[in-house]
Structures are given as structure tokens and as C-alpha cells.
Structure 1
Amino acid sequence: MESPAVARAPSRGETRFAIGLFLACLAFHFWGVQVGWQSRNLPGGEFRQAQTALSAYWIKQENNFSLAYPTPVVGKPWSVPMEFPFYQWTVVVTSKVTNWSLTKAGRAVSIACFYLALPAVFLLLRRWNVAPAHRWIVLALLLTCPLYIFYGRAFLIETMALMFSLWFWVAFERAVAERSKLWLAVAIVAGTGAGLVKVTTFLLYLLPAWVWAAMRLWSARRTAWKTDFLWMSAAVALPFAATLWWLRFADATKELNPLGVAFTSANLRSFNFGWEGTYFSADLWATKARIVAEQLTWLPALLFCLLAGVLVRRRWREMGGNLLAFGSVLVVFPILYAHHDYYYVANTVLLLVAMGLALVALAESALPRWAVWAAVLLVPAGQAWRYVQHYYPAQRAISPGGDGLTTSLRALTNPGDVIVVLGQDWNSMTPYYAQRRGVMIRNDIATDADRVERTLAMLDGEKIGALVIVGEPDGARWLIDRAAARGLGREPLYVWRDARIYVPEARRTELLYAILDNPFHEVALAPGVVVPPEDLSARWLDVAKLRRWQQRYFSGMTPQPVRVWASFGPGMDGSSGHAMYGAHPVTRLVFALPAGRHTLRSSLQLPLEAYRVDLADVDTTDGVEVSLFALGSDGARRQLATRLFNPRANRDDRGSMRPYEVGFTLEQAGEVELFFGPGPSGKDNRDWIQLGPLKIE
């Protein structure tokens, strides 16, 4: 894979141009990875990001840096290790040292790993005799790659695995070729890190290393191949041994969990490596083609580079080798690369190196310099534009993370509680955003009574804070009954979208009031749940001492009253889109105001049913007295204004929402009372008066 002789060396001006391009692209990348930095959600592969973040959260909470690290998503024991926790440990330590949130720390670690991978690519380009000045062009493509901006800051192990794998590739070749003990040490450390952090990424970069090793051994078959083989073996012995040890340790840990056994290497083999039908699946290949075309780069730039590589007829072997390695994992892991776009963090660097080599070939050709550098500028600019068009809108949104379900679970359960969820697969998002340990039960497992019973039995000694049933999965009733045996109610307390949430029976009333006091997004009481009656009628109420949801009766008033008295209790109707307060006589609203000139503005309404012409006098309203009083410190009441609101006798009072405005002056700070009393005859038949939004200025 040696490059032909270079036809044109870069000039000093071209070197400066290439370095300037690299620095501009580095600045763009640094800006891009900080877009949405304050957001606590995890856009892009959130299902998998949440799993990594959940592990980091509980490692930090429990200060648990064991190899069987916590990932409380499928019950006890809480560990189902998927990868060696080097990334999670680094995130937790970074969070503690910097006092950043775990989300920021996770992003920072991923970004740092990506930047630390760039020098490896720079050194790697030496193997194809790429001039140092031209290497900056290739790195510029990596920095403007839409995928590496969006996923380069994700809460994922991907960039760390990529960093280790690239450094292994470089160090492996340098150690063998130069007989360098230093490079051998780098290869051993980087290879061990790559194999432990993510073996599928390590396997990808073993491929070009093996091709290089095979070619070198063949060319030296009659001379020093044995020495080369010993150096190669020394470089991979510990990484291979550590990877195999970790896989066995992780599998043994997973097998301790009735649900975690599904994540062992044997049970995931078909999903990881596919089967015959997946290698030729048109749907899977269409998905992979879409990801390549839409997310990895700018498609016109990719096509241009491929065309340039063919027409210039330079470096096509190197380009072809990188493209072959890029595509190899699409075949070896047919399902993973179709279902998870973040997997492309591992191999997209190979695609970009191939594209960069095409631009290098142009720079080395005899083409006019203006045409070459225009092409060199076009590709990273197109990729930057693709990022802004495709990823930027999703990344810039600021979110507190989670949704109404996770917010409610975090508020309504205790920190030590366990949540059981059926109908969300093994999705770590719910336990992560709820900050609770979870037992996520897949729909197809819910019908395995023995397996689920063993899972629940292992929770003895733990307190189940909530059971969440999403949709209408099979086995739901059986699971509800088993949860009820552990203290949960048999009927849901509240719902969120198509999820029903069951809570401990002993806390049902307490949690009901908590839901009423805290309007969680898209959360409502379950059908049939009745709020326990509380008699608030015919007595003075201190508004500040009411429950929070009861204070919402006065949400349409500014300021809110300090005391109220209502014959039938306070009530508010917001169905019209406005807060309409039911002021049926006798109602008294007391407001505390500063001294000075004030204006009370509101509106009044009596429905037509209160004064229909076909009603007898005894059955109809005779109006409502609406008066405003200033209250003295001695209890005296001084009338500021009064009127009889009577649509039966006064046409101006008929219709919807008649304006009501009163101006008055208080010589000193004090209280005023808005009074609603019966009409002249003293009866309150059909006095269904409503007070619109009120404001006292």
C-alpha cells in the first residue's frame, strides 16, 4: 500500500493555507460540540447514552468503582457490565474534580478523546507518505464531519474506543517496524484500552493492522519474520488476554441476574454478528446507505472525492483500502450498524481519510492551484453546512432532560425506591432521568412468570416505589398482582400518555395530593380516581396555608387574596381558556395592598340560565351585590364602591364577561375586601356569578 512518488510538494504558502484551514475547522468543531451545552437531555442514541449515564450516576452516588459496577436497569444484582467502566470512571472523576454535572463531564470526556485521536490520524498518514502540510487537510475533514460534531460530545464510550484503537494501529506498526519499546508500550496500553472499552471498535482496527502485519511477514518470510512475529505477538498478547478476561467476567456477572442473562455474549451473538438473512437484507442495507448519505458527510462532497480519486489516478490503493475497512464492519455487524447510527463513530474516520486522500491527490497533481484549493475548501465547507442543516436544530434545543413520567417518578418516589417498568423494553432513559434504580421488563419476558418471579423475589428488602405499565402488554395483570402483594395498589393512581402508574397503597392519598400540587407535564389522575373531599365552605381560609393545588383556584388574580370566605367553598373554571372564579354569594375575597391610588379591573358574568324570561320570580336571580370595602385595623369596613349586577333587570349586564372596574385610594397600607352578596330580596337562587381574571394595580 505504498504511495507512488509525489508529483508536487506543497509550497510554504500552501502549508500555511492548510494549517489555517485546519485551525478554522477546529474552531468550528469546538463551537459545534458546545451547542446545547447547558441542556441535560441526551440527543442522539438516547437509549444507549442513558445506559452509560445511568452507570456513571450510580458509580458517583455510591462511590462504587468496582468492576461489577452498577447499572440498575434490570433488577438485582444491579450490575450488568457491558464494557469495562474506564469511560464511566473518567466521567465521574471529572465531574467530582470540576464540580460539573455528569452530563457536562460526559461530554467533556468524549470531546477530549476525540481531540486526542487526531494526532494518531496525523501520524497514521505518514504510512502513506502524505506530506505533513497535506495531513492538515485530512484532519480538517474529521473536524467538520457532522457525525463527529454531534456524537463527538455524546455521553458514550465511542470516542474513547476510537482514540485507543487509532493509537493501537499507529503504535503497532511503529513498534514492529522500528523495534521501538516505547511504541510497543503504547500499543499494549492502547490495545488493552480499546479491547476493554469496546471490542467491536478494536476488531475493526485490528483488520488493517493484520493486513499490514501479513504483508510484512510475507515480504520477510526468508529473513526476519520470526522477529517481527515476536514483536507483533508482544503487542497484542495483553490486549487479547484482557479482552477475553473481561468478556468472561462480564458474562459471569450478568448471569447472576435473571433478566441480565439476556445480555451475555452468547445470547447477543446473533444480534452482534447477525445471521445469514441479515447480511443480504435489502432493508438493512437501505438503512445503512441512508446513514452514510445523510449523517456522515455531505453527499456531494463524498461523490466529488470518489470521482477525484478515480480521475486523478493517485492514491487510489490507499483510498480503496480505507473504504474497504470502512465497509467491512457494515458486513461483519449488519444489525448493529443499521440500528445504531452512533456506531459509525468507529469507522467514519476511515471514510474521511479516504476522502482526504483524494484531496491530497489533487494537491499533489499538476492541476491549477486555484482549482485545487477551491476543491479543498468545498468539502469541509459542505460538511459544516450539512451539520448545521441536519444536526444543529436537534442539538441546540435546551431541555431539563426526561419527561413528565420521569419527573413525576423522581418527585413521587423516595431516592432508595425501585421502579418496575413493563412496556419500555430495557430502556435506561426512565430510571436515569428519574434517578431511581429500575427493573425494566421487556414485553416478551413478562409472560415468563418464573423468570419475572425470580427477579421480583430478589427485590426482597427493597421498596418498590412505583410500577409503570406502558400500553396493554401481555402479562400486565399478573405483574400488577405480584406488585400488589408487595404493597402497591391494584389500580393506577395516575397516567402519562399510554402509561399507567401504580403506587404504594399506603402513600396513595399523599401522592394524589402531590400530583395535584405539582402539575407534571402530560400527567393526569387515572380514570376513576376521586380527590378526597375536603370541606372548605363557609369558613375563613388563609390562602397561604392552602394546598398548592387549592391555591390554583386564585390563579387568575393578581395579587392573590390573602383570605377568602365562600358559602360553597372556592371554585375555579378554566374551560373557557380564562380563569373564571365562582363567586356565588356569599363570597369574600380579601387582598393586602400598599398605600396609594389603585384600580381594580375584572369582569363579571351570569349565565343565561340564571335569568331566563320563562322563569318565575321566585326561581330566577334578583342580581348579585358586588361591593368593595376597605378594612380597618379595628375590623371596621369602609365601603369604596358598590353595584347590583342584575342582567334580568339591566340589559347592560347581559352577555359574556361585562367589564368591572373600580378606582380607589388607600391612605395607608391595608386590606380591601371584594364582597359578593345576594340581591335586594336576600335570596341567592341562581346567583351563579363568575369573576373573570382580576388585577389590582
Structure 2
Amino acid sequence: MFFNNPQRVNPRSFVKTATILLGLFCLIFSTYIAIRYANQTPLDLFSFRQTQTALTAYWFVQDGFSFAYQTPVAGPPWSIPFEFPIYQYIVAVVSQIFNVSLTATGRVISFIFLVLCLFPIRAIIRSLKLPNSTFYIFVILFFSSPLYLYWGRSFMIETTAVFFTVLSIKYFIDVLKHERVVLSSVLFLIFSTLGILQKATTGLPVLMILSFVYLYFIAREVSSFRSLILNKKVLLGLIYFGIPLLIGGIWTIFTDQVKVNNSLGLEITSSALASWNWGTLSQRLSSTLYGGVIWKRVFIANLGGLFGLAILAIALCSDVKKTNKWIIAIAITMTLVPFFLFTNLHIVHEYYQTGNLIFIIFALAVSLGVLTEQYIDKRTLFLIFAILIAMCNYKYFSKHYLKVIKKDYNIHNSRDYAVSNVLKESMPQDKYFVAFGNDWSSSFSYLSERKSFTVPEWYKQYSDIAANPEKFIDEKSLGAIVACPPVKLPTLDILSDWATSNRSWKIGEVQGCYIAVPQQILSIKNQNIVTSDCHASVDIVEVENDANFLKVKGVASLVNARQLISEQIYITFRKENNDSIHFETLSIKQPVDSFYLSPMKKNDILFSSVINKASLNGTFDVGVLVAGKSKQEICKIKKQVVISNGTSQ
């Protein structure tokens, strides 16, 4: 029998088959995660960066490609370019061609670039004559990595930059080996340039390290410093590494020139962000970098902690080929150097490690690959190490990322989604809004599909725009003002004064944010109001920390579905034998958690209004009025409120 004859089992074949199957499983699972949750709204981790990328892609769909592309979140003029938008434009084109949602397209394209990295990695392994098992081990480690499982399917440029950079390494090796030198040289120039243009913080450190490797190979061929300087390969090196840097520098100069035309753009040029990008000496010496980033985010989260560290140490200290040790050391260096070049960025943003983690994963795969070849009798042990690392990765992923990936962002559980939903319904597409309390995040703009000036508190003219937003966006084009706590300015008093100063704007509250939009100004005649079969419930409370305002929210249950384009909901305050005072509300077609007052039905419409109490004093019957162009209907409601001496009951 088979199980009684262990000699029939070939250990080498078993380990190879097991490695391939495990790698295939990791790839399939990663693909499942990417596709299954492709439609997740990009409000998950670091939504600031995801929605910024998505917003650029959205306006490519609307307006087509432009070098001075729009990311309309900083007011007019709308261009504040950063990276060269290769990924964003690809997403826009694919979304249009296949008529697929932009969000799903962005996430899937990001994952496709991650998978495409396998092709240059495979070619590099063959070119360096590494064991075949190295590739399958790399697949296991790469696609089980929590970092790539999560960020590999995000709406960001990271994987595109990684792909271009890894592909440039492949052609660099071909140049060193004198294989198809002209073609390899051209392709190296193209892809190293694309890597830097797509994301300089990914491509630049690798280009720097490759330049030292290139110089080392030249130095081995010469006998003196003078002959080194005169070597024609040095001139070629200046071309290889100078052209990508030159093109990247030209692009940076161009983007800075575009940004200075925008008042916020002046504060986010490359020179203005220098300290933010490069970090400080104290950060480079901090425990946060070594313990929090390098050890926890790299080793603990993605390399099995001590397992990964031990394997790297064993490979470097064993008697494997010196060439393989150099390969491992260079790959580790490619991971570590970015931490010391762009220290602050790597400390602040956990997704930044997407650009350099791949190299230490490659180093670990090479270590396991060469060790299994060097110590054939221990190959099963090294396979177990790979399995243990993958298990550690999946455990970390399940604990830290899986719940986030599964979360369905909607108006019930997300402030940004709820506010954006109201902006999209309340504003014409050619209108813009000004937002406070959301840093300069693109989340409102992307989800509402509207241009904005989302004002960060560090903006030098913040106080001016908080008091006079119409001076920064032409009032004829201004469609809404948003103020979200805990922003200090504008206060509700300031916003209310602005909304009623020679203007007819209404204010409502959504998920804690105050939203002011123009009123529709329908003519309401009390004698024409009739009682309707609609039902409504209303809750009235004073605004916290500001007793001058009442916050009214509720739900109207209509008999027939109505189009809010032609009909509007009003709150009415009526004293006995007096005409009603009407306040137009902010109407919302779908339920928002903060508005829940009763179970929602198909034709329910939610509404909110923030009312200045200055015009109200006494005992009032509160009503809900549904007003259209041809009729006004009062909903059945019994609600009385007493407003006096600055209080309401």
C-alpha cells in the first residue's frame, strides 16, 4: 500500500507541489478579497488619500486628460497636481469603456498592477539564477501579506508605482548582464521614469540604490580612479539615472507652477511640504521608526516577526553563495532606505510601506529558496517556516484588516457618506460648495460629485473664508456651505448670519454637520393650505452650546411618493388665531441614523432645520407642511412647543 511504503514519496516533489499549491491558494484568496469587496466606498483606512485619487479619476471621466489635471477640492482654479496621473487616467478610461463604477474599477486596477508584479519578479529570479522555488515562496509571502491584501486593492497609485519600479529592476539586471543592451536600456529608462512620475517616494530610493550597484560593477572593471572617470559606462550611467531624475524634476517644477495659481496650492508645493516629506533627524532616531514602523509594521505584520528575522539572519550567516547573500542584502536595503529618506511619510502613513515591503519579501523568499537548495534534507523544515509566516500573516490580517474591508459604508454609519448624499441631492452639478471641519479631504467632493473648497484649519486665510466664503468662490456658483465639528469656525452664529444676510439660505443638520443651501422660495398662502393624509413626527431641541437656535428634525410619511425637485417640506410655527411662520427644511430622501425617530417606510422623507429663535416667542403649534407649486398640504401632527426667555419646552 502507498501509505506503508514511504520510499514512494519523493520529498523534493512533495515540497515543490505543496509550495505551488500554497502559493496558488494565497493568490486566489487575495483575488477573492479584491473582487468581492471591489465596490466598497473608499471611506476605509486613509480615505483622505483614496478619495483624492478617486476624485482626480472622476474628473478625467468628466473632462478628459490634462497635464494640469483637476482635483477640485481646493477651490478655483481647480488644479493642484501632485503625481503624474497614470493610474488615475487608466481607471477613468477602463471605467468608461466597460461602464463599470469608478470605485470598483479603481480597486480592481490597483489589484491588477499588484498581480502584474509577478511577471518581472519571475524574470528577475530566472535572470539571477535563483532556485525555482524562490518564485513560489515569493507568491506565498507576497499575497498572504496583510499590507498587500489590504492596500493592494485600495483606490490608490501605490501598486502601479511598485509595478513600474520592479519592472525597471528587471531591465536594469538585463543591462548589467549585457542582454539586449539597447532595448533593455530604453525599457529601463522608460519604467524607472514612470515609477518616479507615478510616485517619487517609491521609485527614487530604488533608482538611487541601483546607481550604486551600477557604479560597483563599473569599478570592478577598472584599475584606477582616473580610468573609472573616463570609462564610457559612467556616461551611460549618467543617462540611465540622470534622465529619470531630470524628468521627475521637470514634472515637480511644472506641478509647483500650477499650484501657485491656487491660494491653497501655494501651501502644498514641494518646497512648502519639504519638512513634511523628508522628516527630521529626531524622527530618524526615534523608537517610533524602529519599533513602530520597521519592527511592527514590517516584521510583525508581514514577515512573521521573529520567524522572518531568523530566516534572513540564517541565510546571511550560512555558507550559501556570496552572490545570493548580496542579492538578499540589496533587497533588504531597498526596503530600509525609504524609511530614512522619507521618514515622516512612513511614520504617518501605514500604506507607504506598500512601496518598499515587496523587496524584503523578495529577500525572505530568496533566503528560503537558497536554503532549501543548500540544505536539501531540511527543505521540509523551511517549507514549514513559510507556512508559519503565512499563518501569522492571515491571523494579523483577520484581526486588523478584514472587518474594515467588510464594512459597508452608507448614510447610516458614515458622516461623510451622509453629508455627501445631501450635497448631491441639494446642489445642481454646476454648483460648488465650501466645507469646514474635514481637513482638505476629498471625501465630500468625490461622493457628492461636486467641486469644492474643503478648507483645512492650517490654511492661512481660514478666518477670511469662514466669514466670507463668497470671496473665494463666486456666489453665483456657490451651492452649499458645510461646517462639521469640532471645527471652531464658522460657528453656527456666523453661518446663520451669513445665510440670512441679503440671502435666503436654509440650514439643516446631518450627522452632526451643519449644511446651508439656498432655499427654493415657494409662495405659501395660509388660506390655501389643506390637511393631508400624510403623517409626521418632529423632535425639537436646543442646539448644544448655543441656546439661540433650535434644532428641528423629523420624518414625514407621505401617501404618494413625491419628487423633492418640485415639492419642499416646511416646519410651521403657529400661534392661536395667527398666521403660521414657515421654515424651509433640508429634506433627505433616505434615512440617516441621526434622524431616526420612527421606523422608516418607502415614502418617508426625512427633514432637518436649524432655526434662529429670535423670531419666535410664546406657545406654538408645530406643523409639517408639504408645499408644491400648485398646492400646500399640512401633515397630521400634534406637537406644541413653548419658546420664551431663551428656552424651549
> Under TM normalisation by the shorter chain, which class is it?
0.7 to 0.9
Moved more, 400-409 or 262-271: 400-409
Structure 1 regions of 5+ residues with no counterpart? 1-9, 511-516, 535-540, 552-574, 580-697
The equivalent residue for 1:684 is none
The equivalent residue for 1:249 is 254
TM normalised by structure 1 equals: 0.68
Within 5 Å, give how 1:594-673 maps onto structure 2: none
Q: 1:144 to 1:245 in 2, by over 3 A?
A: same
Please state whether the residue corresponding to 1:236 is helix, strand or coil. Answer: helix
The equivalent residue for 1:277 is 282
CA contact (8 A) 1:298 1:386 kept: no
The equivalent residue for 1:566 is none
The equivalent residue for 1:200 is 201
The equivalent residue for 2:390 is 380
Measured against aligned partners, the alpha-carbon deviations of 1:271-290 in whole angstroms (never above 9, x if no partner) come to 00012333233445543243
The amino acid across from 1:338 in the alignment is I
Within 5 Å, give how 1:522-541 maps onto structure 2: 527-528=549-550
Rounded to whole Å, the distance in 2 between the matches of 1:149 and 1:530 is 45
Are positions 1:428 and 2:442 aligned together? Answer: yes
The amino acid across from 1:528 in the alignment is L
Shift of 1:60: 0.8
The equivalent residue for 1:220 is 221
The amino acid across from 2:39 in the alignment is Q
CA contact (8 A) 2:42 2:155 kept: no
The equivalent residue for 1:309 is 315
Are positions 1:351 and 2:360 aligned together? Answer: yes
Shift of 1:341: 1.0
Q: 1:27 to 1:484 in 2, by over 3 A?
A: same
The amino acid across from 1:220 in the alignment is E
Shift of 1:319: 3.0
**299, 302, 307: which one pairs with 2:305?**
299
Moved more, 316-325 or 177-186: 316-325
Rounded to whole Å, the distance in 1 between the matches of 2:265 and 2:469 is 10
Shift of 1:365: 2.7
Shift of 1:307: 5.0
Are positions 1:88 and 2:93 aligned together? Answer: no
Shift of 1:14: 5.0
Q: 1:416 to 1:487 in 2, by over 3 A?
A: farther
**320, 338, 343: which one pairs with 1:334?**
343
Q: 1:229 to 1:11 in 2, by over 3 A?
A: farther
CA contact (8 A) 1:309 1:316 kept: yes
The equivalent residue for 2:112 is 112
CA contact (8 A) 1:467 1:483 kept: no
Shift of 1:43: 2.3
Rounded to whole Å, the distance in 2 between the matches of 1:43 and 1:542 is 35
Rounded to whole Å, the distance in 1 between the matches of 2:154 and 2:596 is 44
- State the number of aligned residues: 530
CA contact (8 A) 1:466 1:488 kept: no
Measured against aligned partners, the alpha-carbon deviations of 1:406-428 in whole angstroms (never above 9, x if no partner) come to 21122222212211111221111
The amino acid across from 1:92 in the alignment is A
Rounded to whole Å, the distance in 1 between the matches of 2:150 and 2:522 is 43
CA contact (8 A) 2:540 2:553 kept: no
Rounded to whole Å, the distance in 1 between the matches of 2:430 and 2:541 is 25
CA contact (8 A) 2:485 2:513 kept: yes
The equivalent residue for 1:409 is 423
Measured against aligned partners, the alpha-carbon deviations of 1:631-690 in whole angstroms (never above 9, x if no partner) come to xxxxxxxxxxxxxxxxxxxxxxxxxxxxxxxxxxxxxxxxxxxxxxxxxxxxxxxxxxxx
The amino acid across from 2:390 in the alignment is P
Shift of 1:128: 4.7
Moved more, 541-550 or 461-470: 541-550
The equivalent residue for 1:618 is none
Q: 1:545 to 1:240 in 2, by over 3 A?
A: closer
Measured against aligned partners, the alpha-carbon deviations of 1:354-384 in whole angstroms (never above 9, x if no partner) come to 2212212320232434323323333334323
**222, 230, 243: which one pairs with 2:235?**
230
The equivalent residue for 1:659 is none
The equivalent residue for 1:572 is none
Greater Rg over alpha carbons, structure: 1
Q: 1:31 to 1:449 in 2, by over 3 A?
A: closer
Q: 1:333 to 1:487 in 2, by over 3 A?
A: farther
The equivalent residue for 1:664 is none
Q: 1:462 to 1:207 in 2, by over 3 A?
A: farther
**257, 261, 264: which one pairs with 1:259?**
264
CA contact (8 A) 2:480 2:517 kept: yes
Rounded to whole Å, the distance in 1 between the matches of 2:183 and 2:274 is 36
Q: 1:150 to 1:545 in 2, by over 3 A?
A: closer
Rounded to whole Å, the distance in 1 between the matches of 2:76 and 2:98 is 32
CA contact (8 A) 1:467 1:501 kept: yes
Moved more, 308-317 or 494-503: 308-317
Shift of 1:78: 0.6
Rounded to whole Å, the distance in 2 between the matches of 1:277 and 1:369 is 43
CA contact (8 A) 1:312 1:365 kept: no
Q: 1:458 to 1:577 in 2, by over 3 A?
A: closer
Please state whether the residue corresponding to 1:502 is helix, strand or coil. Answer: strand
Rounded to whole Å, the distance in 2 between the matches of 1:307 and 1:508 is 76
Are positions 1:437 and 2:443 aligned together? Answer: no
Rounded to whole Å, the distance in 1 between the matches of 2:109 and 2:319 is 40
TM normalised by structure 2 equals: 0.73
Rounded to whole Å, the distance in 2 between the matches of 1:445 and 1:261 is 10
The equivalent residue for 2:159 is 159
The equivalent residue for 1:370 is 380
CA contact (8 A) 1:494 1:524 kept: no
Structure 2 regions of 5+ residues with no counterpart? 1-10, 525-533, 544-548, 570-594, 600-649
Please state whether the residue corresponding to 1:355 is helix, strand or coil. Answer: helix
Rounded to whole Å, the distance in 1 between the matches of 2:480 and 2:335 is 46
Shift of 1:256: 0.4
CA contact (8 A) 1:44 1:151 kept: no
Shift of 1:239: 2.0
The amino acid across from 1:124 in the alignment is I
Shift of 1:42: 4.2
Task: Give the share of equivalent positions with the same residue, in percent.
Answer: 24
Shift of 1:339: 1.0
CA contact (8 A) 2:540 2:552 kept: no
Measured against aligned partners, the alpha-carbon deviations of 1:435-478 in whole angstroms (never above 9, x if no partner) come to 21110111232655568899853522652221112225454259
CA contact (8 A) 2:43 2:409 kept: no
Within 5 Å, give how 1:173-184 maps onto structure 2: 173-178=173-178, 180-184=181-185
Q: State the superposition RMSD in angstroms.
A: 3.8
Shift of 1:213: 0.9
The equivalent residue for 2:65 is 65
Please state whether the residue corresponding to 1:265 is helix, strand or coil. Answer: coil
